[in-house]
A = this chain, B = another copy of it.
Amino acid sequence: MNTQTTKPKKEINGIDIYGLHDVIKSFRNQPELAKSRFQITNQWLGGDSNRSTVGTFYAGGQQHEHKKTFVFDCGEPEALLGKDQGANPVEFVLHALAGCVTTSTAMHAAARGIHIRKIETSIEGDIDLQGLLGLSDQVPTGYQNIRVSMKIDSDAEGEKLEELKELYNFSPVVGTLRNPVNVQVRIN
């Protein structure tokens, strides 16, 4: 028997439902609190290698720090002339996409009372390297097609299941990829 007076907690899919409702309520009352800013720094390590550091971000009207600083290395495989000391940048894009469709689905499912048991995602994307190498003006430099395959095991059936299958559309990385983003580059 719990004799302590603690704030009640309810988790679905490992997501804090009351916390989620609090966030939604605060954004409805003050939409400017939803404006967030994410940031990283990166240092070239020579050749194909470089390292990013992720520590702080701005959300809910204030600056925050992650519990720890995250560090990631980019490299290129030997077949692409690198020393293979990290996944390459375009592979990190696919990782970001996988993480985002997964979290967005788990969170929105939780908000709808759908219990998820498993999500497994595989992604592949096509790039024509003539773009990177400047060999053709006709070839885009970036991804042309990305195919995402998600296997979701849940208690959803019928209409709920159809709804579940659309929840990835809330993903910020899906939105970032499907729509043109204003990328401004300043070099000193």
Interfacial residues, chain A to chain B (CB-CB below 8 A):
11, 13-16, 19-20, 23-24, 27-28, 31, 34-44, 46-50, 52, 54, 57, 59-60, 64, 66-68, 70, 72, 74, 76-81, 84, 86-104, 106-108, 116, 118-136, 139-152, 164-165, 168-188
Q: Given the known A-B contacts A13-B47, A121-B42, A123-B40, are A148 and B184 also in contact in the complex, defined by CB atoms under 8 Å?
A: yes
Report the minimal beta-carbon distance from A127 to chain B, rounded to whole angstroms. Answer: 5
* Structural contact, A40 and B78, CB atoms closer than 8 A: no
A64 proximity list for chain B (CB < 8 A):
77, 79
Report the minimal beta-carbon distance from A94 to chain B, rounded to whole angstroms. Answer: 4
A28 proximity list for chain B (CB < 8 A):
135
**How many copies make up the complex?**
2
* Structural contact, A103 and B127, CB atoms closer than 8 A: no
Question: Could you give 19 example pairs across A and B, Cβ below 8 Å?
Answer: A31-B130, A34-B128, A35-B128, A36-B129, A40-B91, A42-B122, A50-B119, A52-B94, A54-B87, A59-B79, A89-B100, A89-B103, A90-B172, A92-B99, A132-B170, A132-B171, A143-B176, A145-B184, A149-B185
